[in-house]
Amino acid sequence: MESNAGRVSALRLSVLIGELLGERPSVPYTLQEFSRRIDRLVERFQSQDPLQTFYMQYSLRMTEVTYQRLHRPAAGPDERTLQDFLGRLKPHPEASQEFSQGAVDPASSLRRAESVHEYLGGQGRVLLLGDDDATGLALSLLGDYQIQALDIDERVVDWLVEMGVNAEVRDLRQLPPGYRQAFDAVITDPSRDLELASEFLKAAYGCLTPDGLLFWADHPDWNQAAQLLIERAQGQGLKLLEVRPNWHSYTPHVISDSTARHFRIPARWFYELVEVARIWSHLHVFRKDQGQQGCSQKGQLC
Ligand SMILES: C[S@@+](CC[C@H](N)C(=O)[O-])C[C@H]1O[C@@H](n2cnc3c(N)ncnc32)[C@H](O)[C@@H]1O
């Protein structure tokens, strides 16, 4: 690990994980030592309450990914473009629970845009189905793209328009005919609610040209419906080309102390954890295609 901040975070995470096992590490665990401890804790924190078990396992697995990413960061983004992007970003509207918002950090938005750019090569019509991450802005810095963003939240749209992104207030469940098969690529970070996420998928499919590309952010450790949605996408004529694992990072929040109470963990443990641990999602790349053939190896879901 190169940076001092990274070493400090690794030690803080080691101390927090060690605490649950009665250990007091004075140096960070190795990656293997850390993962072994996470496995032990996942096994230990099983209960009759499936929801609390899910929250605990999700917190532990995301902590493990954070630890891995401290040691092996994801590729990119380009540092100069990131500075340019940061310079253009206006203060983000507060996340709305009503619209299932949870934005990724700017480096992740740009990393996602760079992945799209790798596929499109600088040109194309691109639709953002919901864009509280400002991925449309990041993509506009990389090529000559015709970008259209839409979002149900007027505050997000105002924010995007203020930054120069072509955006409009729309509910993706009611798209006008002009969107049909009109885009070479669709980018989305869907809701984790299965019903609403299915609407994201349906809208994306309908808006893509016959060989268009879908960029879909999700992770099975925090969205129990993720695998089902991926299978559904493949069954509906989208071929999975690749998965870029743990590609985007989100800042977590403690929403309730109920998991701590349920497992008899001090409530402050979770508050300390969310200062360092992050939530991650994979980037799935699909191509609209009639023939269903598996996906090429690059990520773990293939
Ligand atoms: C669904 S949220 C991202 C959630 C993130 N994956 C998570 O689970 O924390 C992404 C964007 O979609 C927008 N959005 C949510 N529902 C929508 C809808 N029905 N139509 C259009 N945009 C929507 C949100 O306002 C937000 O900007």
- Model confidence pLDDT, tens digit, residues 142-167: 999 999 999 999 999 999 999 999 99
Q: What is the share, in percent, of the chain residues with pLDDT greater than 70? A: 95
CA quadruple 232, 235, 239, 243: dihedral sign: positive
pLDDT of residue 100: 79
List of residues 6+ apart from 133 with CB closer than 8 A? 103, 104, 108, 109, 112, 189, 248
Atom of ligand 1 nearest to the CA of 192: 8
Is the peptide bond between 73 and the residue preceding it cis, with omega within 30 degrees of 0? no
pLDDT for 101 equals 81
Distance from the Cα of residue 252 to its chain's centroid: 12
End-of-domain residue from the set 24, 40, 71: 71
CATH at 230: 3.40.50.150
Are residues 96 and 208 located together in one domain of the fold? yes
Band the pLDDT of 115: cuts 50, 70, 90. Answer: very high
Q: Is the C-beta atom of 192 inside 6 A of ligand 1?
A: yes
Which sign does the torsion angle of CA 19, 21, 25, 27 carry? negative
Does the Cβ of 130 fall within 6 Å of ligand 1? yes
Q: Which atom of ligand 1 is nearest to the CA of 133?
A: 27
Residue nearest to ligand 1 atom 13, measured at CA: 130
110 and 246 in a single domain? The answer is yes
CA-proximal residue: ligand 1, atom 16 (nearest): 99
Is the pLDDT confidence value at 33 over 70?
yes
CB 85 within 8 A of CB 138: yes
Q: Which residues contact 167 (CB under 8 A, 6 or more apart)?
A: 128, 131, 136, 148, 149, 150, 151, 156, 157, 160, 161
Evaluate whether residue 193 is within a structural domain. yes
| Domain region containing 219 | 79-251+279-288
Looking at the fold, whether 123 and 244 belong to one and the same domain comes out as: yes
Residues 156 and 24 in one domain: no
Asked whether 218 lines ligand 1 (CB < 6 A), one says: no
Asked whether 250 and 105 are in contact (CB, 8 A), the reply is yes
Does the CB atom of residue 152 touch ligand 1 within 6 A?
A: yes
Same domain? For 162 and 21 the reply is: no
